[in-house]
């Protein structure tokens, strides 16, 4: 016969205690009944002993932000006293600056005892401050200016849209890792577009991505703006990224031969030689790069109808707009020459030479 529990008198099962009394004397968790959390009302960041903790959520997602706040608070405030304890909660009342909930811990106080749950009534009080990041943003703080320009031409709308999307993507990716990962503003004019960025590190990273994507050049300038508390000079940087004169679907000369730019990305440029009808790749580090010259914008491409063709003879073309006739050697065509169809081509005005473009590139450009 088991000895009685020395607290309640029922049969004991472990260390002179019954199961219920043992669970009470050996709780699964330890937590205060009153908890507090300071949060930033602008961005939802929460203040922890290690500093402000940003949330990977939109502040407009009120339920998601509250859940993230409570999970963070419980991670900080709850001490697990047994292994493999599962914690959940039920919100019973929610006010503006306080919240009441039942905290539920599930597990075993001892390996020889059955699984059980214990409930704790918790009140959470919220206080509101402005986190350091939001304070810097509202105060107009920035460490770097990113300037986007183009060589001998304006920055196109498509380029500006793509670069803005890239700035947004990298800023979001750095959020929570870099306390100054924010952009306080941007402006665009006939010269290009500027971005004011809170983090110098983020600005450099964005500039590197743009440089690789567009095969651009980069130049960094420093401006003394003050001193830090220790007397060290504090500088603000301006990173100028200059896009090349040419882009995808434009025409260039490489080693004196006219070429079509098929694509530009990842530090290299895919080209199509309009004379040799071959493809090749060139990078800023290659010898050929030094021979690159801008020839014409992709917008100068023209349409011609193939009027007639006799094997071994020049191909007869008619300009679709001016109806002028022209002859082109059949050797400059890719494969079959479709009489009666319309092709897209480049006219070299100084020599009167017409160079047909590859059909697949024409389709891509039209789309």
pLDDT per residue over 87-140, tens digit each? 999 999 998 889 999 999 999 999 999 999 999 999 999 999 999 889 999 899
pLDDT band at 364 (very low <50, low <70, confident <90, very high): very low
Indicate the pTM of the whole model.
0.72
Residues β-bridged to residue 271: 261, 280
Query: Residue ranges of the domains in the chain?
Result: 19-131, 140-243, 249-297, 301-367
- Average pLDDT score over residue span 60-87: 91
The structural architecture, per CATH, of the domain 249-297 is Roll (2.30)
pLDDT per residue over 19-42, tens digit each? 999 999 999 999 999 999 999 988
How is domain 19-131 classified at the CATH fold level?
Immunoglobulin-like (2.60.40)
Query: What are the helix (H) ranges across the chain?
Result: 19-25, 62-77, 132-138, 157-174, 200-214, 359-366
Of 295, 284, 203, the residue nearest 243 (C-alpha): 284
Say whether 301-367 and 19-131 share the same fold. Answer: no
In the chain, % helix, strand, coil (3-state, to 5) comes to: 20, 40, 35
Distances (CA, A) of 17 to 4, 119, 122, 182: 8, 21, 28, 59
Tell me the three state secondary structure of residue 161. Answer: helix
Distance CA 81, CA 255 (A): 75
- Average pLDDT score over residue span 61-81: 92
pLDDT per residue over 328-344, tens digit each? 888 878 777 889 989 88
Q: What is the CATH number of domain 301-367?
A: 2.40.50.140
- Average pLDDT score over residue span 193-214: 95
pLDDT, the chain, mean: 89
Cβ 203 vs Cβ 239: under 8 Å? yes
At 168 the pLDDT is: 95
């Amino acid at each position: 016969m088991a000895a009685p529990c020395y607290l309640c008198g029922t049969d004991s099962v472990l260390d002179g205690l019954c199961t219920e009394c043992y669970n009470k004397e050996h709780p699964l968790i330890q937590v205060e009944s009153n908890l507090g959390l300071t949060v930033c009302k602008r961005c939802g960041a929460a203040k922890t002993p290690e500093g402000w903790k940003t949330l990977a959520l939109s502040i407009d997602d009120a339920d998601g932000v509250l859940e993230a706040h409570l999970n963070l608070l419980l991670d900080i405030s709850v001490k697990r006293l047994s292994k493999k304890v599962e914690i959940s909660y039920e919100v019973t009342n929610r006010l503006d600056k306080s919240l009441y909930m039942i905290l539920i811990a599930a597990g075993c106080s001892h390996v020889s005892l059955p699984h059980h749950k214990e409930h704790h009534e918790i009140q959470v009080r919220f206080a509101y401050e402005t986190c350091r990041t939001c304070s810097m943003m509202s105060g107009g703080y920035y460490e770097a200016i990113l300037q986007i320009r183009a060589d001998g031409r304006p920055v196109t709308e498509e380029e500006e849209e793509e670069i803005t999307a890239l700035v947004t993507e990298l800023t979001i990716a750095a959020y929570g890792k870099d306390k100054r990962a924010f952009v306080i503003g941007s402006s665009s004019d006939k010269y290009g577009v500027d971005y004011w960025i809170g983090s110098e590190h983020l600005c450099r990273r964005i500039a590197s991505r743009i440089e690789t994507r567009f095969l651009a050049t980069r130049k960094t300038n420093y401006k003394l703006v003050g001193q830090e508390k220790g007397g060290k000079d504090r500088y603000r940087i301006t990173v100028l990224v200059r896009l090349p004169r040419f882009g995808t679907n434009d025409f260039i000369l490489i080693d004196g031969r006219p070429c079509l730019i098929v694509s530009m990305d990842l530090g290299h440029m895919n080209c199509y030689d309009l004379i040799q009808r071959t493809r090749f790749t060139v990078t800023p580090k290659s010898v050929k790069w030094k021979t690159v010259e801008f020839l014409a914008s992709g917008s100068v491409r023209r349409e011609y109808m193939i009027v007639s063709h006799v094997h071994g003879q020049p191909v007869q073309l008619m300009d679709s707009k001016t109806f002028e006739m022209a002859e082109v050697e059949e050797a400059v065509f890719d494969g079959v020459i479709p009489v009666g169809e319309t092709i897209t081509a480049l006219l070299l005005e100084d020599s009167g030479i017409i160079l047909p473009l590859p059909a697949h590139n024409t389709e891509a450009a039209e789309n």
